[in-house]
Amino acid sequence: MKKKPLFLSILISIAAAIAMMSLLPAASAATGYIRGDANGDGKVDIADATMIQMVIAQMTPDTDGAIAKRGDVDDNGLDVADVTKIQRYLVEAEDENHIGERITEQQPTRDEYELPFVPC
């Protein structure tokens, strides 16, 4: 068996690395988040409205505050109005809150964004 030249092996390795990088999700290369994309899957759909409802009802934990940050489409804290605005956006009845647009700031940490205390 003929041995491959070293430069050919290096070239193949570089091509493989570039091919693997192109398979990564676009969201991982982009910074920030998409307004209204509560679950962080890169799109705004009814699953985001449902996730916000589950966080509000304390059925889903939001330990790092990221769901609340991405789902708070009107910047006044996470509440049922955000659900309504996302639902209206989905039926193209509202877009004044820039839902679906990328926000370039970094994901929040728990210290930066706290959910309001809701007594039981």
Interface segment toward Ca ion; rule CB under 5 A; list 1-9, 57-65, 80-88, 108-116: 80-88
Q: Does 48 bind Ca ion (CB under 5 A)?
A: yes
Binding residues for Ca ion, how many (CB under 5 A)? 8
DSSP designation for 58: T
d(CA 89, CA 35): 11
Q: Does 39 bind Ca ion (CB under 5 A)?
A: yes
Q: What is the CA radius of gyration of the chain?
A: 20
3-state DSSP call for residue 34? strand
Specify the residue, 7 or 86, whose C-beta has the smaller distance to Ca ion.
Answer: 86
Judged by the rule CB under 5 A, the positions of this chain that interact with Ca ion are 37, 39, 41, 48, 72, 74, 76, 82
